[in-house]
Structure 1
Amino acid sequence: MDRFIKKWTESSLILKIIIGLVIGAILGIVVPQWKIIGFPGELFVSALKAIAPILVFVLVVSAISKARSGVGSRFKTVIVLYLFSTFLSAMVAIIASTLFPVTIYLTDASTATAPGGLGEVMANMILSVVSNPIELLAQGQYLGILFWSLVFGIALKMVASDTTKDVLTDCANAVTKVVHGIIQCAPIGIMGLVFTSVSESGIGIFTQYGQLILLLVGCIAFVAFVTDPIIAAVALRRNPYPLVLTCLRESGITAFFSRSSAANIPVNMELCERLGLDRDFFSISIPLGSTINMEGAAVTITVMTLAVCHTMGISVPLPITIVLCIISTVGACGASGVAGGSLLLIPMACSLFGISPDVSMQAVAVGFIIGVIQDSCETALNSAGDALFSATAEYHDRMKNGEPVNFLGEFAK
């Protein structure tokens, strides 16, 4: 058994994931009635979601309690990168929707409850930050987890002994070891997730909402392969594609099938470790990115809102598009971490054009229909961007300070 485990862990994880992906797709087509095949996928995502809040909390507390000076500028850089890339994503969606306008068939309104406006979104975010920390850990509310872990980390830095800080570091290392074990089960989990998607959705979804799906996926692909690399290239002044493709391959694939940025936090943290990044930095930047780096969500909100406008014959003047970009950016940062969370912010953006909630909620219903594709692509972009911009911020800071930079860490070997 030990030999098998050693051979499994030493073999290529990506190759094993690809094999699991192919097997899951074949089984989904051949034996879609065997629902038990999808169970490992549910188990894999549940395990990642369960360990992620604990991982974030112990890593951030440990990092802050033992933090050294000199990483503050990296946080400023990564926040700017997160917000700027999200704004650019909304701009890409507006340009694409203008060049290739898409209409949708509006039918029954969804029963989901949407926030009333930006004020409500921001109020909910602030209230969630100061909630009971135990409840936040149980619910996986990462903005609140970050807040309380920063508070405890600062307090421990002031009063804790070196022995206590070492214990915290050992706890962080232990949780990281557990995460590594869960990630080694990714090929089996991906197989189950792919089986479930193929067996339940098939390819029929492409025929009913093909144009809308193509527009959404096209915008997301453009952001992933064009705008994000341009941002990274400007910051690093070197070819960004080796780093971009590494993040998409190592982070985007698992996020695509798990459809959960929260579940992918452990995956991203392990990726950052292999990229040679500073744990004190990425243990905060990655969970922060899962909250405010919402490029895919900005694309979804913008495309779906303009699809409603085109369907109703509403013209969208240039000044209003800028306001829509800002609303989409801020709204995306406040989007719920659950699957389809960005869809519930469509009515808020639609209100800018005087569209009633009854009509805009029908677009939300359409969004849930195509969610198996839309949400998967959206999450893959968001999660890969978290790792990409964390690496970009740290590499940029090191280069600026004249420090040696090992681009791509282990991947460069």
Structure 2
Amino acid sequence: MKRTIPFLITLIKQGSLVKQIIAGLVLGILVALAFPGFAQGCGVLGSFFVSALKAVAPVLVFVLVAASIANQESTTNTAMKDVIVLYLVGTFLAALVAVFASFLFPTQIALIDTKDALSAPGGIGEVVKNLIFNIVDNPVKAIANANYIGILAWSISLGVALRYASDETKRIVTDLTASVEYVVRFVIRLAPIGVFGLVAEVVATTGLAGMMSYVRLLAVLIGCMIFIALIVNPLLVFLYTHKNPYPLVWACLRESGVTAFFTRSSAANIPVNMNLCRKLGLDEKLYSLSIPIGATINMGGASVTITVLTLSAAYTLGVQVDVLTALLLSVVAAVCACGASGVPGGSLLLIPLACGLFGIDQNVAMQVVAVGFVIGVLQDSAETALNSSTDVVFTAAAFEHHRRKSQSHV
């Protein structure tokens, strides 16, 4: 027994995180099927893990972005611009894919009443107003409430100011970042236990049949996300690198997408992506900035969710959707997705804004949001897996593009 405990600790610390997560998934399903009462109690493990991730992610983003900008050199500016372009283009293309898929496979949904009152943006003016006030939010309040727009605004401002600080001050900021990353890596190693608790509770509560509800809608949503991950993203990478993109894409899906699928939080998956970028040999000055920013604005999966659910509501109500309106929806969905929160379900409350394009009543639109929460077990997981893995894919593509250009000038 004395030897068993150290062995288990060593296994958790040094073993493959992906394999451990898969083991936690399988074990969670088996326990839920065999002992449903016990499995529901195991949900506290999943709640603890997710709460820990939510606690460390805002602090990590704040410190990471500030330190990255403070130590940023002009040599990485071009690569960072390429990353931002890829983020924005990828999010818009995701919305277009969702529009075409919805035209090919029009889906109607059962609109249900929501029990809990939900707040959602009422129009473009309110969205802009909320954005402005989030930017100037108190930094302590922004971190406490996980207001990532406010966190980014303050961390960027602090980072710019710290560029003029002494080298000793910059080293302190760098050491602080390393310390925060150490704490986050410890939390991430608890992922298998958290996944076990999350899966056990879900299966014990809803049963395997409960996860198969709204099959057609889920098929369209997840089909779009798979198409983006395996066709659209590789095409963009190829255009930037002129190399076979699939080794990179598969590596990102395997090591980033799998973890994000279960944590359901792009922000919480930042440490996993940082570690993957390190393994890929990317420039730390680039990925330490692009990955936190990507967790906020690179939201292709959210763009798909907003578009598909909005068009499904339109089809259900018999609204005629023309091509121009669908294209406008793509733009609106892409803009909304960029402002979606990087936490579970962050994209759903922006659906009523997109529904407003078709004159859909806010009460009905909120019922669509409720449908989103019903299918959220799979939809939000797939959405986050696409969003988070794409952060690394595009960062690697921009790094390779910039490196190839630099070599050609030598």
Normalising to structure 2: TM-score of the pair?
0.93
**Structure 1 residues 3 and 163 mapped into 2: Cα distance closer, same or farther (>3 Å)?**
farther
Instruction: Verify: 1:358 aligned to 2:325, yes or no.
Output: no
Tell me if structure 2 keeps the 8 A contact 1:102–1:307: yes
1:203-214 to 2 correspondences below 5 Å: 203-205=208-210, 208-214=213-219
Instruction: Verify: 1:108 aligned to 2:113, yes or no.
Output: yes
**Structure 1 residues 182 and 208 mapped into 2: Cα distance closer, same or farther (>3 Å)?**
closer
CA drift at 1:261: 1.5
Q: For 2:158, which of 122, 145, 152 is the aligned residue?
A: 152
Instruction: Verify: 1:281 aligned to 2:296, yes or no.
Output: no
Give CA deviations for 1:121-155 in whole Å, capped at 9, x if unaligned: 23212211111111111122222222211221222
CA drift at 1:206: 5.0
Per mean C-alpha deviation after superposition, the further-off stretch among 72-81 and 9-18 is: 9-18
CA distance in 2 between counterparts of 1:104 and 1:40 reads: 33
Q: Percent identity?
A: 51
Instruction: Verify: 1:41 aligned to 2:56, yes or no.
Output: no
Code of the residue aligned with 2:232 in structure 1: it is: T
Code of the residue aligned with 1:140 in structure 2: it is: A
Per mean C-alpha deviation after superposition, the further-off stretch among 222-231 and 61-70 is: 61-70
Question: Could you say which residue in structure 1 is the equivalent of 2:27?
Answer: 23
Question: Could you say which residue in structure 1 is the equivalent of 2:75?
Answer: 70
Question: Could you say which residue in structure 1 is the equivalent of 2:395?
Answer: 390
What secondary structure, in the 3-state scheme, does the structure 2 residue paired with 1:70 have? helix
What secondary structure, in the 3-state scheme, does the structure 2 residue paired with 1:214 have? helix
CA distance in 1 between counterparts of 2:272 and 2:257 reads: 10
Tell me if structure 1 keeps the 8 A contact 2:266–2:384: yes
CA distance in 2 between counterparts of 1:172 and 1:131 reads: 23
Instruction: Verify: 1:190 aligned to 2:192, yes or no.
Output: no
Question: Could you say which residue in structure 1 is the equivalent of 2:354?
Answer: 349
CA distance in 2 between counterparts of 1:81 and 1:389 reads: 6
Per mean C-alpha deviation after superposition, the further-off stretch among 19-28 and 104-113 is: 104-113
CA drift at 1:397: 1.1
Aligned length, in residue pairs: 403
Instruction: Verify: 1:126 aligned to 2:132, yes or no.
Output: yes
**Structure 1 residues 191 and 207 mapped into 2: Cα distance closer, same or farther (>3 Å)?**
closer
What secondary structure, in the 3-state scheme, does the structure 2 residue paired with 1:315 have? coil
- Please, which runs of 5 or more residues in structure 2 have no aligned partner? none
Question: Could you say which residue in structure 2 is the equivalent of 1:337?
Answer: 342
Tell me if structure 2 keeps the 8 A contact 1:193–1:258: no
CA drift at 1:7: 4.6
What secondary structure, in the 3-state scheme, does the structure 1 residue paired with 2:37 have? coil
Tell me if structure 1 keeps the 8 A contact 2:41–2:201: no
Tell me if structure 1 keeps the 8 A contact 2:69–2:289: no
CA drift at 1:65: 2.1
Tell me if structure 2 keeps the 8 A contact 1:255–1:376: yes
CA drift at 1:306: 1.0
CA distance in 1 between counterparts of 2:121 and 2:156 reads: 28
CA distance in 1 between counterparts of 2:12 and 2:316 reads: 52
Tell me if structure 1 keeps the 8 A contact 2:25–2:195: yes
Question: Could you say which residue in structure 2 is the equivalent of 1:381?
Answer: 386
CA distance in 2 between counterparts of 1:43 and 1:206 reads: 23
Question: Could you say which residue in structure 2 is the equivalent of 1:32?
Answer: 36
RMSD: 2.0
Tell me if structure 2 keeps the 8 A contact 1:122–1:334: no
Give CA deviations for 1:368-401 in whole Å, capped at 9, x if unaligned: 1111111111111111111211222122111111
What secondary structure, in the 3-state scheme, does the structure 2 residue paired with 1:221 have? helix
Question: Could you say which residue in structure 2 is the equivalent of 1:58?
Answer: 63
- Please, which runs of 5 or more residues in structure 1 have no aligned partner? 405-413
Normalising to structure 1: TM-score of the pair?
0.92
Give CA deviations for 1:85-118 in whole Å, capped at 9, x if unaligned: 1111111111111111111122325631221123
Per mean C-alpha deviation after superposition, the further-off stretch among 244-253 and 111-120 is: 111-120
CA drift at 1:156: 2.0
**Structure 1 residues 55 and 337 mapped into 2: Cα distance closer, same or farther (>3 Å)?**
closer
Code of the residue aligned with 2:123 in structure 1: it is: G
CA distance in 1 between counterparts of 2:361 and 2:245 reads: 43
CA distance in 2 between counterparts of 1:373 and 1:3 reads: 34
